[in-house]
């Protein structure tokens, strides 16, 4: 595939991670790669209007252009505020 590049799309669930390699055209966006991966059909609770996305651990908008070998990550919403959880642990002990 001369005009395409390989990227990975991943989503970590409670019971394991889904990791897909897809080939996207040069100039593809984060959203295009996610949609092409099929993860949205496999995990219907993902809502790109609410779930944050990133590349290699850095937050990126859906319209960010991906590069060859990028790992696109779809993040689950936080259940608890990390600062609040840390404060509670410090109070306990």
- In the chain, domain spans: 4-92
Task: Give the CATH number of domain 4-92.
Answer: 3.10.20.30
- Decide if pLDDT at 4 tops 80: yes
pLDDT score at 69:
97
- Residue 36 CB partners (closer than 8 Å, separation 6+): 22, 24, 28
For residue 83, what pLDDT band results from cuts at 50, 70 and 90? confident
For 6-53, write each residue's pLDDT tens digit.
999 999 988 889 999 999 999 999 999 999 999 999 999 999 999 999
CB 25 within 8 A of CB 34: no
Q: Which tokens in the block code for residue 42?
A: 């496999």
pLDDT score at 2:
59
pLDDT score at 26:
94
């Amino acid at each position: 595939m001369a005009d395409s590049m390989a990227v990975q799309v991943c989503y970590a669930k409670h019971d394991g991670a889904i990791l897909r390699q897809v080939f996207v055209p040069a100039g593809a966006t984060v959203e295009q790669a996610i949609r092409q991966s099929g993860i949205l059909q496999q995990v219907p609770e993902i809502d790109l209007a609410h779930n944050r996305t990133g590349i290699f651990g850095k937050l990126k908008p859906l319209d960010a252009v991906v590069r060859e070998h990028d790992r696109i990550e779809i993040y689950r919403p936080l259940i608890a505020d990390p600062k609040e959880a840390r404060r509670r642990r410090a109070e306990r002990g």
